[in-house]
Amino acid sequence: MNRRDALRLLAAGAAVPMMPHNLLAAFREARLAVGSSPALGTLNPHQEATVTALAEAILPRTDTPGASDVGASHFIDLMLTEWYDEPDRAHFQKGLEDVDARSQALFAHDFVSCSPLQQSEILTWLGQQMTAETERRTDHPISVTASEAEPVEGFYLMFRRLTLNAYYTSEVGATQELHFEIIPERHEGCAELPAADGGTTHP
């Protein structure tokens, strides 16, 4: 199983069916609004470019469109603006700063200017951070008091969740990757059926 197949199963098996109805509704509304709200609400242009590069590194264009083809960065910006509160937005933006700081330390470039191989190395580092954070939270659950100051999930987990939902709630992701069948807008229950003698019959 390749990475894209694994991410597709993650989105189909966890991100969509198990999502609370109110959050799923928010994602659907955000998807509809992406095309009509091109202006950025939370991210600045450099942050938006970083989000685009990160999302495309996770879901690159292959035989099907990639994350940037479905407007993932604008979807993420819209969700940050309309759904998340200020501490979570700040947490996300700090995560982007950390990505650039890591890229500068290793390659003397911002993430968007790194080569695909260098970007892959940064993604590996982010994945390792995410695993370590998950293990830490499992071994040492956050108290109610501490959770008020500490984000519920790490930056990369948050980023991947937004990217997957940006992609798989798009028409391309839903139809070409998940093979969802669009429900017809209407049902004609009294359609005439062909009769055996070539005429028509009525239900």
In a domain, 103, yes or no: yes
Q: Report in angstroms the alpha-carbon separations of 94 from 31, 88, 107, 159.
A: 25, 10, 20, 12
In a domain, 196, yes or no: no
User: Whole domain around residue 15: which residue ranges?
Assistant: 3-176
Which pLDDT score is estimated for 190? Answer: 57
In a domain, 186, yes or no: no
Number of domains in the chain: 1
* H/E stretch holding 96: helix 86-107
Residue 100: closest CA among 47, 146, 137:
47
**Could you tell me the mean pLDDT of each successive run of 10 residues in the chain, 203 residues long?**
44 44 56 64 96 94 84 88 89 96 97 96 93 79 51 83 82 56 50 58 52
Q: Report in angstroms the alpha-carbon separations of 188 from 75, 180, 193, 201.
A: 35, 21, 12, 15
Which pLDDT score is estimated for 193? Answer: 56
Cβ pair 141, 150 in contact under 8 A: no
